[in-house]
Amino acid sequence: MQVVTGFSQNKDELVIGFARDTEELYIRAQLGSQFTSLSFPTEFRRARANSVELMQELQGQTVEDVVQHQNERSFYFILSGGYLLLFKLFGNRSNIILFKDNEALELFQNKFSADAELSPLQMDRPLLQNFSAFETASGNLRKIYPTFGEVPVLYLEERGYSQAALEEKWELVQSMLDVLESPELYYIIRLKGKLRLSLLPLGEVLYTYAGPMEAADHFTRLYLSETGFERQYEQAKQQLERKRHVTKTVMDQSEQKLQELRHDRSYSQTADVIMANLTNIPPRSTEVELYDFYTDQTRTYKLKQNETPQKFAERLYRKAKNQHVEVKQLEEKVERKLEELIVLEDALQNLADVENYKQMKAYLREYNHLLGSKQQEQVQIPFRVFESEGFKILVGKNSQNNDELTQRHTYKEDMWLHAKDVSGSHVVIKYQAGKSIPNTVLEKAAQLAAYYSKRKTDSLCPVIYTPKKWVRKPKGSPAGSVVVEREKVLLVKPENPFAKV
């Protein structure tokens, strides 16, 4: 066949395409640090983006022979024009190197620069593998057959290799070599919890194939799917848990600071007491006892000798103003972090339902905005959060956000509310296992649903409520539009019961 293309779409993947008349064949080499494989698809859809041409000097050259090195995990193609293409499959140090006239022209993995010094024509390892050498090595397989991996060794052990006499060991090895040289079937097995491509039936046999290329293709897809899912699942879980921990820590610290500011004796109250007692404070005093009409007690106040009581009070009033600003900022920060925390917890809960690679890919697309390196503050939160008697109430901010709230952040046991027969925000009371929603909480949530709707100015507003499992979104319906299958109605006054007076 003739080489027609060479390219890479991923960091550790090289694809080389061959053709003969109307026939096509590709070698897809995966040369990662965690996984090395060759697969042989008969067609390949090349991506339009993130694709780079490689091994261009090979294009137009014809494969004249394929040579397997003796006792080595490597082979090379002899091509027309004096080219050699070496496949060095040494685990996490695997590489593909293009040579011409025994000079290295191109390394796929440039990080292994020493591979440029290899000579494909001199990589055979001729070893004596007769009974005499076997006897001299006392049946040590690694000395006689260095390319044997774990599978052949375990295969022999299952047949009593360790307990057998030397002659019996030799016969067991020869019998296995007959299978390895001319296998009737090719296997995908699970051994010690890991997926393997094998010439020997060992462990749990999952699939059998008549041909090696079909087996290699299926194995690569299966392995990448299975291990890719596990790796991506764990990475996503760790990222979300780390962000949740950071968000929770910041929220707790902000709440603690907020409580301290709220419970500290107000600067303005101290200033009021000072101003009410100006005539009772001796000049240049550093300490004075005054009646605090806020607490109905006498308190000791410390002053500055070179500062008049009026100036001292003015300074306290300025601090009180700054304290008020800080309290407001902290309240907003706590609210924002609470929203972020709910989003992260929802993402983790949805991740727990992901069971395979296909679902994982869809999950990563949907939650990509949470899994990047961006700061959590940059994530758009689709709802407002209120809290009553330990229950969280979420209110959608607009029609698009309503969709996101109901479809992504709401579960079947959550209580869903909406102003009846008019447009408005979706409202959700988050379910708590083992707890029923108090009527007082339900009424406040209903008031919010009425307040954030077209009936905001009505004296009374009917609000429907039902568990989320009875709410569905028809395919192709407008943003925020849903169908409610079962509902109850509550009549409330439209208002925000959490508004600060």
Q: What is the secondary structure of 85-139 as a DSSP string? A: EEEE--GGG-EEEEEETTEEEEESSTT-GGGGG--GGG-------SHHHHHHTTT
For residue 365, the model assigns a pLDDT of 80
The residues, ordered by sequence, that sit 6+ positions from 72 with a Cβ below 8 Å of its Cβ are: 123, 124, 125, 147
Q: Encoding tokens for residue 129?
A: 């593998």
Q: How far apart are the first and last CA of the chain?
A: 82
Mean pLDDT for 14-41 is: 92
Q: Would you call 393 helix, strand, or coil by DSSP?
A: strand
- CB contact at 8 A, 98 and 73: no
Asked whether residue 500 carries a pLDDT value surpassing 70, the answer given is no
- The chain-wide mean pLDDT, for the chain, equals 89
| Residue 485 Ramachandran class (φ > 0 left, ψ -120 to 50 alpha, else beta) | alpha
- CB contact at 8 A, 202 and 152: no
Summarised one tens digit per residue, pLDDT across range 328-387 is 888 888 888 888 888 888 889 889 888 887 888 888 888 887 886 554 444 567 888 898
The number of residues in the chain equals 501
Q: What is the DSSP letter of 56?
A: G
The larger pLDDT score, comparing residue 33 to residue 278, is at 278
Mean pLDDT for 34-41 is: 90
Summarised one tens digit per residue, pLDDT across range 187-245 is 999 999 889 999 999 999 999 999 999 999 999 989 888 877 888 888 899 999 999 99
Q: Give which of 343, 381, 379, 395 is closest to 499, Cα–Cα.
A: 395
Cα–Cα distances in angstroms (integers) from residue 312 to residues 15, 275, 287, 440, in the given order: 78, 9, 13, 47
For residue 153, the model assigns a pLDDT of 95
Summarised one tens digit per residue, pLDDT across range 141-164 is 999 999 898 999 999 999 999 999
Asked whether residue 448 carries a pLDDT value surpassing 80, the answer given is yes
Burial class (CB in 10 A: 0-12, 13-18, 19+), 14: buried
For residue 450, the model assigns a pLDDT of 96
Summarised one tens digit per residue, pLDDT across range 315-326 is 888 887 777 777
For residue 10, the model assigns a pLDDT of 82
The larger pLDDT score, comparing residue 51 to residue 24, is at 24
For residue 379, the model assigns a pLDDT of 57
Asked whether residue 477 carries a pLDDT value surpassing 50, the answer given is yes
Element (H, E) at 339: helix 309-351
- CB contact at 8 A, 414 and 429: yes
- CB contact at 8 A, 474 and 481: yes
Mean pLDDT for 421-431 is: 94
Q: Encoding tokens for residue 379?
A: 């994530």
Q: Would you call 328 helix, strand, or coil by DSSP?
A: helix
Summarised one tens digit per residue, pLDDT across range 71-119 is 999 999 999 999 999 999 998 899 999 999 989 999 999 999 999 999 9
For residue 436, the model assigns a pLDDT of 93
Q: In what order do the strands lie in the sheet with 186-191?
A: 194-198, 186-191, 204-209
Q: Give which of 461, 421, 417 is closest to 441, Cα–Cα.
A: 417
For residue 264, the model assigns a pLDDT of 61
For residue 375, the model assigns a pLDDT of 46
Mean pLDDT for 47-54 is: 80
% pLDDT > 70, the chain: 97
- Residue 366, Cβ neighbours under 10 Å: how many? 12
Please name the amino acid found at residue 389.
E
Confidence of residue 265 (pLDDT cuts 50, 70, 90): low
Beta strand 427-429 with 461-467 is unpaired
Identify each DSSP E strand in 159-286 by its residue range: 186-191, 194-198, 204-209
Please name the amino acid found at residue 330.
L
- Residue 421, Cβ neighbours under 10 Å: how many? 11
The residues, ordered by sequence, that sit 6+ positions from 283 with a Cβ below 8 Å of its Cβ are: none
Mean pLDDT for 31-53 is: 84
- Residue 361, Cβ neighbours under 10 Å: how many? 15
pTM: 0.53
Asked whether residue 19 carries a pLDDT value surpassing 50, the answer given is yes
Q: Give the range among 53-57, 112-116, 165-169, 473-477 with minimum mean pLDDT.
A: 473-477
Pure H helices in 409-466: 439-451
Alpha-carbon span 256 to 233, nearest angstrom: 34
For residue 305, the model assigns a pLDDT of 85
Q: What is the DSSP letter of 424?
A: B
Identify each DSSP E strand in 192-286 by its residue range: 194-198, 204-209
Alpha-carbon span 428 to 444, nearest angstrom: 11
Alpha-carbon span 209 to 222, nearest angstrom: 14
Summarised one tens digit per residue, pLDDT across range 286-310 is 899 998 888 888 889 889 888 898 8
For residue 501, the model assigns a pLDDT of 45
